[in-house]
Amino acid sequence: MNSPGIFITGTGTDIGKTVVTAGLARLFKKAGAKVLPVKPVQSGGVLQPNGKLDSPDGDVYGSAGAEWNIETQCPYIFEPACSPHLAAKLAGVELDVSFIAGKVRSLERRGTLLVEGAGGILVPLNGESTMLDLMKELSYPVVLVAGNKLGTINDSLLSLMALKQAGVSVCGVIMTSCEGPVPSEFGMAEDNIRSIEKFAGVKVLSSIPYIPDWNIDDPCCWEKVDRALSCIDVSTF
């Protein structure tokens, strides 16, 4: 592992970034590396009886066995489940890319950082900057999470085009199936992978299957994620 961190982005929201981030944390840990998931900007925070907001993504990392301290690993958390720029505006907060990147970098001495974006690549953080600007500022290699479903070739290639145009280094794509089993018709699932690799020149590192009755507290679910990611050699990052 040469970079102090990896940035996990996705073709959109609810595509499986958190499960992939938590799964990678488990993979790195198993390989003997010290890793830390980071969620720099979380919207959709859950209000606790003590009046504080809890991070749903942080709960997933914690259930996966990763080290999680919301105070340091989630510098910005907002209650409305909307784009960070809007959630921040509603809270009267100005998000600043350099400041967020500084907060993330301050954690580098604690281990390899697995930084999860919010939504997709061009999600705004304020009136001028997007999540892509944060990726450029951090300059960690990027993993793109994409759903293995109808429409993913277009979504993935557009996302990879935006990353390439911005000069961001991409380590590969991890495919997921959050909504249901991978379509078996027409050999679509395999063709999605082949087409993304061929047109983008980027490797699909792994595919996580649809896990029925997904439950973050069920070790069997995490074992399925582990099996899917076990083909990834962590030294390639």
Ligand X SMILES: Nc1ncnc2c1ncn2[C@@H]1O[C@H](COP(=O)(O)OP(=O)(O)OP(=O)(O)O)[C@@H](O)[C@H]1O
Measured from the CB atom, is 129 or 177 closer to ligand X?
177
Q: Collapsing DSSP states into helix, strand and coil, what is residue 220?
A: helix
Residue 110 vs 210, nearer CB to ligand X:
210
Q: Report the distance separating Cα 69 and Cα 71, nearest Å.
A: 6
Q: Does the footprint of ligand X cover residue 17 (CB under 6 A)? A: yes
Spatial CB neighbours of 163, under 8 Å, sequence gap ≥ 6: 9, 121, 132, 135, 142, 144, 170
Single out the residue of 5, 37, 58, 119 in contact with ligand X (rule: CB under 6 A).
Answer: 119
| Binding to ligand X in span 57-116, by CB under 6 A | 57
Helices 219-229 and 17-30: crossing angle, nearest 10°?
A: 80
Q: Among the candidate windows 14-22, 72-80, 93-101, 197-205, which touches ligand X by CB under 6 A?
A: 14-22
Identify the residue among 57, 104, 205, 221 touching Mg ion (CB under 5 A).
Answer: 57
Catalytic residue among 17, 29, 30, 39: 39
Number of C-beta neighbours around residue 69 at 10 A: 12
62 contact choice in ligand X, Mg ion, none (CB below 5 to 8 Å, kind-dependent): none
Instruction: Compute the distance between CA of residue 70 and CA of residue 169 in angstroms, rounded to an integer.
Output: 28
Q: Which residues bind ligand X (CB under 6 A)?
A: 10, 13-19, 57, 119, 176-178, 208, 210-211, 214
